[in-house]
Amino acid sequence: LNIAVLAGDGIGPEVIEQALKVVNAIGKKYNHEINLTHALTGAVAIDATGNPYPDETHEVCMQADAVLFGAIGHPRFDNDPSAKVRPEQGLLAMRKKLGLYANIRPTLVFPSLLHKSPLRRELIENADFVCIRELTGGIYFGDKGRNETRDKAWDVCEYTKPEVDRIVRLAYEYAMKRRKKVCIVDKANVLETSRLWREVAQGIEKEYPEVETEYLFVDAAAMRIIQWPEGFDVMVTENMFGDILTDEASVISGSMGLMPSASIGTHTSVFEPIHGSYPQAAGKNIANPLGTVLSAAMMFEYAFKLMDEANEIKDIVNKSLAEGVVTVDIADGGKAFSTSEVGDWLA
Amino acid sequence: LNIAVLAGDGIGPEVIEQALKVVNAIGKKYNHEINLTHALTGAVAIDATGNPYPDETHEVCMQADAVLFGAIGHPRFDNDPSAKVRPEQGLLAMRKKLGLYANIRPTLVFPSLLHKSPLRRELIENADFVCIRELTGGIYFGDKGRNETRDKAWDVCEYTKPEVDRIVRLAYEYAMKRRKKVCIVDKANVLETSRLWREVAQGIEKEYPEVETEYLFVDAAAMRIIQWPEGFDVMVTENMFGDILTDEASVISGSMGLMPSASIGTHTSVFEPIHGSYPQAAGKNIANPLGTVLSAAMMFEYAFKLMDEANEIKDIVNKSLAEGVVTVDIADGGKAFSTSEVGDWLA
Ligand SMILES: CC(C)[C@H](C(=O)O)[C@@H](O)C(=O)O
Ligand SMILES: CC(C)[C@H](C(=O)O)[C@@H](O)C(=O)O
């Protein structure tokens, strides 16, 4: 199993270290040869090479069966969004060059953490849905610019039928393995790109008669996520809407530090926790490694199709929660373990 | 006081009728001559004239000191977003032609309705913020289209400095009368239009040294609205982000049926409840009129600068809540009054 490891910035290296302990332990137990190749990305890559996603890193990813990713971003770039070179550009370049067209984010609810949710318990107890976000198109990658006097700016949102087809199909395939419900989120009452999405989806819908399809405007979806999260099974949407809605959805579980994600690509796939670089905690050995560990579980499932290994990782995470071997963010007044202690325990 | 009345579709006519009872009662008490001119918009206007915002209606609005608006939208258009003529086009045409550049939505929390919120009570008890959404620019009004083979679609998001300047300034002026905090929501790490917003805002920020300014990415804002709504005072953002975030914010109060809005224009201003046409309830005399009545209060405040009148309307609404003279959606097992009974009681 050839894994590219991109630890990145902030707490990235610390949480990745714990996930690798678990990956290696699983490799030993199930007799897999695990080959790890580390490479630079994010602010650390800018410092070392001037480029947040260096060609060398790209080569490492292209050679790998999967990429395990920590986080990128550094506060020194935060108040200067027009800085010429920024860590986020590395992320976007990676997505585009690896063809990471589908970002998959499960919204998982952990019973012992329900009280951490901002939502009332009865609304989320049975929430279990997946957001699938298109990740290489839309307004992120369209033409953008300024006029000569720089007092007018534009960004173009663009989609082609094959781009939409690919991801909507993935959503339906996903739903077939779950509760067979797809919710397509768009703004077809205003946007031409959304009308294209809806046209394509209405075609694919017919191929999956067993699946219940719903079309929801993005503003209504933003409300529904809070009002009735249990109503969703698989949600699929375009890049910008997905950016907003997946972050909104990640909050309702109350367990953001535990949330994994997978980005499925045409060349390889990337697995990363959703929590970001969390610079305030960097270097303190307090960050929650469980989101990264669960991302490694998704890697075994999606990239390696090794379900036993994936399930064993999920089980040990649940056990760490049940036994209170957790970091300070979820220790709830109980003993808080350090990042590395949790990693050691899991491994 | 010359008021154009656009009742529109669904429950629009019923809730508008109650608001007009209140407006007339206030007019009598404070000795104002109230001139109401009714005009068509939405699906009813399509049926009558083929146009959801007929020229005649536009003329009526242009002559008025303010527009009181009900709701538009009809289910027969809902599953056909590519229908040539749609009620929403009327809304967008009205916004553009009246120059309604700023949509102002207070997020009000009513103590007696806190248990209706999906959020835990302690998170929202002291929430009191205003979202200001740019309403005549961005991706709503940029070029949109398809290529010849119709398998590629685009929508252009565009902003000019004067457009941004106008609304950001309004947000700062607003904040000066409140808790002096402005949060500018954008996606400056990805979008050129957002970088223009930030540039303009950074200039205006300097003119208001008393105001505390914060810049937040839209994905982070979608999280913060649920995690810590009390942290906001005045939020300002572009059209599409505003569409999503204002709807998200409207849910957390638990009192959607009570939420008013104002759209400030260069020619006149429009006041409307945020709840929409709610077709399931249309004609049943059960819809909650309080959002429209509070929109009328905003009209007295913003369009007529008559604060006593505005406050008297707000007071009577609070009294109706305290005494339980409310519609079924908030009656909570107590006696439910009809739409018109609530209107009569208020008047
Ligand atoms: C950092 C930023 C460019 C990125 C995005 O908007 O896609 C992030 O918010 C995410 O969701 O991964
Ligand atoms: C009906 C639709 C075009 C409209 C919008 O997106 O602006 C609505 O959602 C709103 O917020 O008033």
pLDDT digits (tens, 9 = 90+) for B187-246: 998 999 999 999 999 999 999 999 999 999 999 999 999 999 999 999 999 999 999 999
Distances (CA, A) of B55 to A153, A323, B74, B166: 32, 69, 21, 27
Backbone angles phi, psi at A44, to 5 degrees: -60, -35
Q: Are B209 and B235 in contact (CB under 8 A)?
A: no
Of residues B159, B189, B247, nearest to A153 (C-beta): B159
Supply A183's token pair.
């919710």
- Tell which A residues from 154 to 213 touch B, by Cβ distance under 8 Å: 154-162, 187-196, 198-199
* B247:A219 CB<8 A: yes
Nearest partner of A213 among A170, A241, A178, A184, judged by Cα: A184
Select from B85, B140, B186, B189 the residue whose CB has the most chain A CBs within 10 Å, as the one to mutate to test that interface.
B189
How many A from CA of A243 to the centre of ligand 1? 7
Output the average pLDDT for chain A.
96
Residue A85 sits at the chain B interface (C-beta within 8 Å) = no
Residue B81 sits at the chain A interface (C-beta within 8 Å) = yes
CA gap A88, A94 in Å, rounded: 10
Stated as kind and residue range, the H or E segment containing B319 is helix B307-322
Q: What is the dihedral angle through the alpha carbons of B222, B225, B228, B233, rounded to the nearest 10 degrees? A: 120
CA gap B20, B295 in Å, rounded: 11
pLDDT score, position A144:
97
Provide the shortest C-alpha distance from residue A187 to chain B (in Å): 9
What is the CATH number assigned to the segment(s) A1-101+258-347?
3.40.718.10
Backbone angles phi, psi at A108, to 5 degrees: -100, 140
Range in A159-163, B235-239, B261-265, B275-279 the model is least confident about: B275-279
pLDDT score, position A81:
61
The DSSP code sequence of B175-195 is HHTTTSEEEEEE-TTT-HHHH
- Whether B243 is in the pocket of ligand 2, judged by its Cβ within 6 Å, is yes
pLDDT score, position B82:
66
Provide the shortest C-alpha distance from residue A2 to chain B (in Å): 32
Residue B92 sits at the chain A interface (C-beta within 8 Å) = yes
Q: What is the arithmetic mean of pLDDT over B160-180?
A: 98
pLDDT in tens, A128-149: 999 999 999 999 999 999 999 9
* Residue pairs spanning A and B at CB distance below 8 A: 174
A contacts of B142 (beta carbons < 8 Å): 154
Q: What is the arithmetic mean of pLDDT over B307-323?
A: 97
CA gap B57, A213 in Å, rounded: 38
pLDDT in tens, B39-75: 999 999 999 999 999 999 999 999 999 999 999 988 8
CA gap A265, A330 in Å, rounded: 33
Q: Helix, strand, or coil here: B254?
A: coil
Sequence ranges of the domains in chain A: 1-101+258-347, 118-252
Range in A37-46, A83-92, A126-135, A285-294 the model is least confident about: A83-92
pLDDT score, position B76:
84
Q: Helix, strand, or coil here: B74?
A: coil
Residue A318's pLDDT band (cuts 50, 70, 90): very high
Supply A242's token pair.
């997905």
Q: Would you tell me the crossing angle of helices B12-30 and B307-322 to the nearest 10 degrees? A: 120
Q: What is the arithmetic mean of pLDDT over B270-298?
A: 96
CA gap A313, A172 in Å, rounded: 26
Nearest partner of A271 among A249, A292, A257, A248, judged by Cα: A292
pLDDT score, position B81:
61
Domain B1-98+259-347 has CATH 3.40.718.10: yes
pLDDT in tens, A50-106: 999 999 999 999 999 999 999 998 888 766 666 788 888 999 999 999 999 999 999
Whole-number percent of chain A with pLDDT over 90 = 92
A contacts of B159 (beta carbons < 8 Å): 152-154
Q: Provide the CATH topology of domain B118-252.
A: Isopropylmalate Dehydrogenase (3.40.718)
- B1-98+259-347 and B118-252, same CATH topology: yes
- Whether B91 is in the pocket of ligand 2, judged by its Cβ within 6 Å, is yes
Query: Which residues, in sequence order, are CB contacts of B117 under 8 Å at separation 6+?
Result: B109, B124, B251, B252, B253, B254, B255
Q: What is the arithmetic mean of pLDDT over B75-91?
A: 80
Nearest partner of A22 among A10, A8, A36, judged by Cα: A36
Supply B232's token pair.
């906001």
pLDDT score, position A321:
95
Q: What is the arithmetic mean of pLDDT over B70-95?
A: 85
- Whether B220 is in the pocket of ligand 1, judged by its Cβ within 6 Å, is no
pLDDT score, position A83:
74
The DSSP code sequence of B22-65 is HHHHHHHHHT---EEEE---THHHHHHHS-SS-HHHHHHHHHSS
Is A308 exposed, middle or buried, given 0-12, 13-18 or 19+ CB atoms closer than 10 A? exposed
CA gap B139, A242 in Å, rounded: 17
Output the average pLDDT for chain B.
96
B219 is in an annotated binding site: yes
Whole-number percent of chain B with pLDDT over 70 = 99
Query: Which ligand is the nearest neighbour of the Cα of B249?
Result: 2
Kindly report the protein residue whose alpha carbon is nearest to atom 7 of ligand 2. Answer: B243
pLDDT in tens, B239-256: 999 999 999 999 998 888
pLDDT score, position B302:
96
